[in-house]
Amino acid sequence: MNVTTKETVEVSMSNVEEASGIKSAKTQSETAVDGQQDKYFSCRSIHAYYGDSYIVQGVDFDMNEGEILALLGRNGAGKTSTLRTIARMSDPLLRQGEIWMDGNALHTAASFEAARLGVALVPEDRCIIQGLSVEENLKLAQIAKPVGWPLEKIFEHFPRLAERRRQDGITLSGGEQQMLAVARALARDIKLLLLDEPYEGLAPVIVQEIERILVEIKSLGITTIIVEQNAIAALKLADSALILDSGEVVFRGAAQEVLDDENLRHEYLAI
Ligand SMILES: Nc1ncnc2c1ncn2[C@@H]1O[C@H](COP(=O)(O)OP(=O)(O)OP(=O)(O)O)[C@@H](O)[C@H]1O
Ligand SMILES: [Mg+2]
C-alpha cells in the first residue's frame, strides 16, 4: 500500500496506542467537549488539505448510533472531501481535528484501519471491479476480516443481485451497480456507512428501492452519512442534516428543519 510519511507515523502511533490500550481507555478530556456527552460518532473541528489547498475547514458534528445524516451543499462545497477525510483517505490530508467512532480514534488511523474498525465509503463512481462477477465482487470484499453478511443473506435482501450473481459487475445497470456497491459494504462488518451520491443518475423507481435498503440498514443500527444532490430525497430519509459551504458548516440540525426552511434551502442548496 502506498502510504505517505505522515501516514506511516500515524500508523505506528496507532499501533503504539493499540499495544498500550490507550484507545479503549480514553481520558475525560477526549470523551467530553464543553461538558457534552460523548456521541457514537464525532468529527471535532476537522481541517483537511489537498496539498496546500485548504478544503475541509473546521467541520464539526456528532451523530447517534443508527442515525442517518444528510450531508448537503452546493457543488464544490466539500462533501466528498469530508467523506474521504472520515474514511482516512490520504487525500485530502487531515491536518487538524479529531474523529471518533464508538470510542475509537479514527484521526490517528490509516484508511485500512478505519475500514477494519467498520468505516465503509461507497464512492460516487461505485468502484465495481471489471472482469469480476457480482458474486466475485462480494467475495473479494470478504477476503479480509471482519466479515459482515454472508453471501446468501445479501442475495436474500438484494434479489436483483441474486438474479445476476454470475454476471460481470460492470455490465449491471446504474441502479444495480449502486446496489452492488452497498451490498459490498454490507459484506463487511460495518458500523458507519458513507454514501457519496447514491441516487446519481438513477430512475425514481430505483431510488425508491435503494431508499428501502437504507431504511433496512438503519434498522440494523448502522450509522449512515448520505451525500446527495437530490437533497429532498436525502432529507426525507435522514434524521439530521449538515450543510457545508466552502468547506465550512453553515447549518446543523434536524432534517425536517431544512425541509421546512425555504430560505435556507434556497441560499445553500439552490432548491
Ligand atoms: N484532488 C483534489 N485536489 C485539489 N482540490 C480538490 C481535489 N478534489 C476536490 N478538490 C477541491 O475541493 C473542493 C471541494 O470538492 P468536493 O469534491 O469535496 O466537493 P463536493 O461538495 O463533493 O462537490 P460535488 O457536489 O461537485 O461532488 C472543490 O473546490 C474542489 O475543486
Ligand atoms: Mg462530491
The 10s digit of each residue's pLDDT in 62-90 is 999 999 999 999 999 999 999 999 999 99
For residue range 234-267, list pLDDT tens digits in order. Answer: 999 999 999 999 999 999 999 999 999 999 999 9
Which residues face 254 on adjacent strands? 240
State residue 145's pLDDT score.
Answer: 85
Cα 9 from chain centroid?
24
**Band of residue 215 on the pLDDT scale cut at 50, 70, 90:** very high
- β strands within 163-222, DSSP E: 192-196
Q: Is the CB of 91 under 6 A from ligand 1?
A: yes
Q: Which residue in 206, 238, 209 sits closest to 72, CA to CA?
A: 238
Q: Which residue in 173, 178, 224 sits closest to 199, CA to CA?
A: 178
pTM reported for the whole predicted model: 0.87
Q: Is the CB of 79 under 6 A from ligand 1?
A: yes
- β strands within 27-136, DSSP E: 41-50, 53-63, 68-72, 93-101, 104-105, 119-122
Question: Under a CB-based contact definition with an 8 Å cutoff, are residues 196 and 227 in contact?
Answer: yes
Question: Under a CB-based contact definition with an 8 Å cutoff, are residues 57 and 35 in contact?
Answer: no
Q: Is the CB of 73 under 6 A from ligand 1?
A: yes
Contacts of 141 (CB under 8 A, 6+ apart): 184, 185, 187, 188
End-to-end CA distance of the chain: 42
Q: What's the CA-to-centroid distance between 105 and ligand 1, angstroms?
A: 25
Q: Is the CB of 246 under 6 A from ligand 1?
A: no
Reading the block at residue 260, the C-alpha cell is 421546512
Q: Which ligand is nearest to the CA of 48?
A: 1
Q: Is the CB of 84 under 6 A from ligand 1?
A: no
Q: Which ligand is nearest to the CA of 55?
A: 1
Q: What's the CA-to-centroid distance between 22 and ligand 2, angstroms?
A: 35
Total residue count of the chain as it appears in this document:
271
Mean pLDDT of 159-163: 96
Reading the block at residue 89, the C-alpha cell is 483517505
**Residue with the nearest Cα to atom 13 of ligand 1?**
76
Q: Which ligand is nearest to the CA of 78?
A: 1
